[in-house]
Structure 1
Amino acid sequence: MALPKPFLALLICLFASLPLSCLHVDGSDELKAFIVHVKRPENLSFSVAEQWTGWYSSLLSLASLEANDTDFARSRVIYSYRHVVTGFSALLTEREVEAMSKLDWFLHAYPSPVYHLMTTHSPKFLGLRQRIGNGVWNATNMGQGVIVGILDTGVTPGHPSFDDYGLPPPPAKWKGRCDLNASACNNKLIGARSFINYDAVRRRPTDTPIDDEGHGTHTASTAAGALVKHADVDGNARGVAAGVAPRAHIAIYKVCSEIGCAGYDILAAMDAAVADGVDVLSLSLGGGSIPFHSDPVALGGFEAINKGIFVSCSAGNSGPDPYTVTNVAPWLLTVGASTMDRSFLGTVKLGDGQEWEGASLNPPRNFDSKMLPLVYVAGDAAASHCLNDSLNGVDVRGKIVLCDRGDNSRLEKAQVVKSAGGAGIILVNTPEDAYSTIADPLVLPASNVPYVVGLKIKAYINSASAPAASLVFNGTVMHTPHSPSMASFSSRGPSQITPGILKPDITGPGVNILAAWTIQKFNMNSGTSMSCPHLSGIAALIKKAHPDWSPAAIKSAIMTTAYVTDNSRGPILDERHLPADFFAIGAGHVNPRKAIDPGLVYDLTPQDYIPYLCGLYESSLVEVIVGRPVDCSSPNSISEGELNYPSISVTLPANNLTSVRYRRTVTNVGKPTSTYRVKLDLPKEVSVRVTPTKLSFNEVNQKRRFSISFRRNGGGSGAVQGQLLWVSGKHVVRSPISIRLE
């Protein structure tokens, strides 16, 4: 069969080893998998699949400059189709497909879509798995070549989340080691060391890097776990599990056990990680409000960023009380926790017909959702909270028990009820937790209900002569409205150590996160321990896209591109269903797609932190932090608000109408030629002036300075907030502004 000349000419261009005339510097020559539909040829019929494959290969081979080069042709063809469509899939460029679309034989072509059964839903929720356009995974090759160091409880070797299929060896800069069996480490899990029970005489730990808790395995797989099919927890969230940077390398540093994480172990591990050559450090741990000069995480983190290593830390799980945020050094990324748009729902049905929705994982197999007696031990604080031994002597056998949250863990409450013979448990939120519910894998059927729902259930119990209830499990529900929302447990600012720096910095997925585990293959956990590795993985992706960016630039990109509205187009809500303030969400919820192209960044060098530290501490203490002599007696110290930080915090005293002025410097990391104009959104109590109001750039990495002045307009007290935006035709660079009116 003769081919049309235009088609032949196109194929010659396609398969002549890509001559220069076929290449374009705009990225249109990047090979991608496309599915191509063609008109079915007349008078041509094949009875077996191999004949169709041979025909396509022969066409491509004849079109090559090297006659009969079937091997080259087959290198482009992926599949040949014959039953449901006529056509083939092949590695093609967008420009080639565009040219192909003008030919008579052409019907349709499109990038080969990827379908996922979602379990670790956060990659999709974060927009990482977009297949068309500028998907983050496509743009960053899933973080390949970046090394993420995890300081936690160790790792579970041999877990499929740490499989290295298709991964190259770590980069040559990697100097670490694996203290597991020789076969346990691979190109994914490239290092594993323990710093628990260190033997100073033999200069080695007496413990192994193996994870006995599950926490470290969970966080490591969240940050950079490989794709694993058929993942679930008791049938919930069934699908494909994936870390945020699935092709990044993982190095494990075990620093925590069941009794906690010793500061010296943490500092030793950070010291080792810096020497080993990691690119990102992830620490899902916290130690309260500790001065930087006495905080191993802050100290180790400063030297890490001095070596170009990004450090991501948990904000803490002591919310929603204010002043509870931890890991607040400005060179650390401090991560809060919020929900995703995936829920695990269970309905509590009461004997009088009331039905109330709660958070619940699926029950054990063959669970019968029948009405059972419902009991709540009012007037006894221990029994009402289901503390250890509190239900001894209480008849709960075969009944559903209502337990107030607080004082002990949710798992412990369920174990207490089960030990007493209970058949199920309803966990009622505290007033502080309000509407923020969590689905836990507990030891018996359970549902966690909001505080207001608990009040209604208790009122029913008090009014009914024979109260009863049943638990009906609805399973996994997608596209939950008002997502994301802040988790009640996520620690809040302001910082006790440095209130002039807005903390936390950012929020990310931290509720009902499925990831690898120890005893069972996967487990569902919640906490800022879960949100922290999400941001660690995102930092790895940005590092891959921009290897020359400093840790501060990466941090700025994450913060200035964050969003503050939920999927219902309203403000992100807190546990009370009220708009969350900046002391909860920081700059907002991370947006990885925008973070890899932020336009402008607020950059900082390690040297830039010294004047700020001199504003906090005396010279000798600053020297402890920065590792070299510092003279803070010079007039170069600055206030916290003057640090070139992506967010802005300012205090305006009462009866003082003088203005407070800060300066900031932004660096252009977008198009060489660009112009940004200022836009302000501030409360009426404050007047703000920015000079200049327009920033113009004509090259990449060019810097521009501006000043921002604040003045009170009169009365008011407490905390108010607003935002500063630099807007171009493509980018919106947003800085949250927190203002305290004294």
Structure 2
Amino acid sequence: MMKTNYTMQLSLLVSLIFILCSFNQITSVFAAEENQEHDHNLMTYIVHVKKSENVASFQSEDLHSWYHSFLPQNFPHKDRMVFSYRHVASGFAVKLTPEEAKSLQEKDGILLARPERTLSLHTTHSPTFLGLKHGQGLWNDDNLGKGVIIGVIDSGIYPYHPSFNDEGMPPPPAKWKGHCEFTGGKICNNKLIGARSLVKSTIQELPLEKHFHGTHTAAEAAGRFVEDASVFGNAKGVAAGMAPNAHIAMYKVCTDNIPCAESSILAAMDIAIEDGVDVLSLSLGLGSLPFFEDPIAIGAFAATQNGVFVSCSAANSGPGYSTLSNEAPWVLTVGASTIDRKIVALAKLGNGNEYEGETLFQPKDFSEQLMPLVYSGSFGFGNQTQNQSLCLPGSLKNIDLSGKVVVCDVGGRVSTIVKGQEVLNSGGVAMILANSETLGFSTSATAHVLPAVQLSYAAGLTIKEYIKSTYNPSATLIFKGTVIGDSLAPSVVSFSSRGPSQESPGILKPDIIGPGVNILAAWGVSVDNKIPAFNIFPVLQCLVLT
């Protein structure tokens, strides 16, 4: 009997524990769901606070504590605080819900709390074209940027490229206080002296990158001399940045999906000032904003006050008027121009007329025999015609283009490489890319997937008229390779943003133009099975002459 009672009591106890555990699990599920819903509402806010008279004497811990004092006592500071700023702003970046941000905004000492924004990237022969000669003038052997520290705020870097080797380079100046996350030490090597990632994510990653925008721009600014540089055998020569003996510090602020967080950019500029850089180079922007809302203008103002020169790209939103980014008067705003080197191909028509354009892919065995020529926009009706004229993916799948040269219009937010693949999938043997009116005469040297050439808007119109004028239009492509001596260079390229400045129309912007299209520089992976890897990138980086 006693045993039975004991068994019953034990069973009741086990059942009670099970019920309690189940209740706790249900409660935990509800709590987790509530927390998850709360987390989904979190956004990073930039918070500006009234500057303390004692902030200059604050140590890092004192500064963090002071910023934390503006937040509620029960606030999870460690998990939510993103960055604390010292030089570029009196304030911090923190993850808040809209309700928390509204409550914080009402506190004494808080000047502004607003959600952060994301910025976009403004994605060999250049020195010779600029008149820079080894051992002369700005490129005197004792100069070449020696002793200058250039901070590049971008998407990261591929540190193993020979453009960043430190052979024969001295250590950085004694003022350098930076850090290299690749080595865990004060420097990576005497060339690439610093590399930090300011991208906040669940897993802290090294400042490497997948898109190589930062690698390319850093090499343009200060890459070492690298002999026998080329891509697909084109643009052969000695690659070098504008200041080959300068030191580089990379601050990664963009994710591999390209968004560049405002809080990270402010943090990078703040740290770069503390690290001791002499120059800051940024090839990213947010468009025209009031200077007090523009993170680059705010950070650059503080940098200038600390003796740091700031150079930024004008943006790639041209050719319309007032399309500038980075228009503050204390920033050097650089527009993009051509150089006198082209990688040339000709479109030759059946009537004998030839039209010059550009392409990076220069096949040696392509036949110059005339082949049937068609315009991709002549096969459909309505929207279908527009899609086909742009050679959008899938638009030509039911059309037999075997053995034909196909004319495609540039545009439609689809890369010319993707257009070429669509032509290739339908049997086309070559492609002529006709610029939009906006692009005008600006062409790019691109590594296409089939023989191709990009032509001006005017040439495209003429070729389309030729196709309509004859029963048997024909064409071929003739590849000329690297050609130097364009008498029209430098000219401003179509995509380069124009003034006047919206925020300060009385200030002429951009300040200068510099080589910014079809520039050969370091790349992280080989596009032509050649080592070291280089690529031609048709966007501007901030020109740095030291």
Quick check: 1:253–1:269 contact (8 Å CA) kept in 2?
Answer: yes
Per-residue deviation, 1:492: 0.6
State yes or no: 1:374 paired with 2:388.
no
State yes or no: 1:502 paired with 2:508.
yes
Task: Find the counterpart in structure 2 of residue 144 from structure 1.
Answer: 146
Task: Find the counterpart in structure 2 of residue 492 from structure 1.
Answer: 498
Task: Find the counterpart in structure 1 of residue 412 from structure 2.
Answer: 407
Task: Find the counterpart in structure 1 of residue 236 from structure 2.
Answer: 238
Task: Find the counterpart in structure 1 of residue 126 from structure 2.
Answer: 122
* Counterpart mapping for 1:223-372 below 5 A: 223-257=221-255, 258-364=257-363, 366-372=365-371
Quick check: 2:397–2:425 contact (8 Å CA) kept in 1?
Answer: no
SS at match of 2:320: coil
Corresponding letter in the other structure for 2:442: S
Bigger relative contact order (CA 8 A; separation at least 6): 2
Range with greater deviation from structure 2 (189-198 or 472-481): 189-198
Range with greater deviation from structure 2 (328-337 or 188-197): 188-197
State yes or no: 1:171 paired with 2:173.
yes
Corresponding letter in the other structure for 1:169: P
Residue by residue over 1:365-391, the C-alpha shift from the partner in whole angstroms, topping out at 9 and shown as x without a partner, is 543344333221226111111222222
Quick check: 1:127–1:135 contact (8 Å CA) kept in 2?
Answer: no
State yes or no: 1:523 paired with 2:535.
yes
Task: Find the counterpart in structure 1 of residue 200 from structure 2.
Answer: 197
- CA–CA distance in structure 2, aligned partners of residues 157 and 367 of structure 1: 37
| Residues 403/293 of structure 1: CA separation in 2 closer, same or farther (3 Å cut) | same
| Residues 351/382 of structure 1: CA separation in 2 closer, same or farther (3 Å cut) | same
Residue by residue over 1:237-275, the C-alpha shift from the partner in whole angstroms, topping out at 9 and shown as x without a partner, is 111101110000111111123232111111111111111
- CA–CA distance in structure 2, aligned partners of residues 444 and 182 of structure 1: 45
SS at match of 1:222: helix
- CA–CA distance in structure 1, aligned partners of residues 230 and 184 of structure 2: 30
* 2:216 alignment partner, one of 215, 218, 223: 218
Corresponding letter in the other structure for 2:497: S
Task: Find the counterpart in structure 2 of residue 598 from structure 1.
Answer: none
Per-residue deviation, 1:456: 1.2
Quick check: 1:152–1:254 contact (8 Å CA) kept in 2?
Answer: yes
Q: Percent identity of the aligned residues?
A: 55
State yes or no: 1:458 paired with 2:464.
yes
SS at match of 1:187: coil
Quick check: 2:317–2:497 contact (8 Å CA) kept in 1?
Answer: yes
Per-residue deviation, 1:469: 1.5
Quick check: 2:376–2:388 contact (8 Å CA) kept in 1?
Answer: yes
- CA–CA distance in structure 1, aligned partners of residues 377 and 394 of structure 2: 16
Per-residue deviation, 1:362: 4.0
- CA–CA distance in structure 1, aligned partners of residues 312 and 398 of structure 2: 45
SS at match of 1:292: coil
Per-residue deviation, 1:403: 1.3
Corresponding letter in the other structure for 2:373: L
- CA–CA distance in structure 2, aligned partners of residues 468 and 333 of structure 1: 49
Task: Find the counterpart in structure 2 of residue 480 from structure 1.
Answer: 486
- CA–CA distance in structure 2, aligned partners of residues 461 and 411 of structure 1: 24
CA RMSD of aligned residues (A): 1.8
Per-residue deviation, 1:507: 0.3
Quick check: 2:195–2:249 contact (8 Å CA) kept in 1?
Answer: yes
Task: Find the counterpart in structure 1 of residue 395 from structure 2.
Answer: 390
Quick check: 1:197–1:207 contact (8 Å CA) kept in 2?
Answer: no
SS at match of 2:144: helix
SS at match of 2:220: helix
Per-residue deviation, 1:393: 1.3
| Residues 173/471 of structure 1: CA separation in 2 closer, same or farther (3 Å cut) | same
Per-residue deviation, 1:342: 1.1
Quick check: 1:363–1:444 contact (8 Å CA) kept in 2?
Answer: no
Residue by residue over 1:62-84, the C-alpha shift from the partner in whole angstroms, topping out at 9 and shown as x without a partner, is xxxxxxxxxxxxxxxxxxxxxxx
SS at match of 1:356: strand
- CA–CA distance in structure 2, aligned partners of residues 175 and 418 of structure 1: 53
Task: Find the counterpart in structure 2 of residue 699 from structure 1.
Answer: none
The number of residues matched between the two structures is: 408
Q: Which runs of 5+ in 2 are unaligned?
A: 1-123, 379-384, 527-532
Corresponding letter in the other structure for 1:291: P
- CA–CA distance in structure 2, aligned partners of residues 285 and 375 of structure 1: 40
Residue by residue over 1:251-310, the C-alpha shift from the partner in whole angstroms, topping out at 9 and shown as x without a partner, is 111112323211111111111111111111111111111221121111111111111111
- CA–CA distance in structure 2, aligned partners of residues 415 and 196 of structure 1: 34
Q: Which runs of 5+ in 1 are unaligned?
A: 1-119, 200-204, 542-742
Residue by residue over 1:505-562, the C-alpha shift from the partner in whole angstroms, topping out at 9 and shown as x without a partner, is 1101012100001111000012233xx1xx22x0xx2xxxxxxxxxxxxxxxxxxxxx
Residue by residue over 1:323-364, the C-alpha shift from the partner in whole angstroms, topping out at 9 and shown as x without a partner, is 101110111111101111111111111122221111222424
Per-residue deviation, 1:422: 2.7
Quick check: 1:346–1:361 contact (8 Å CA) kept in 2?
Answer: no
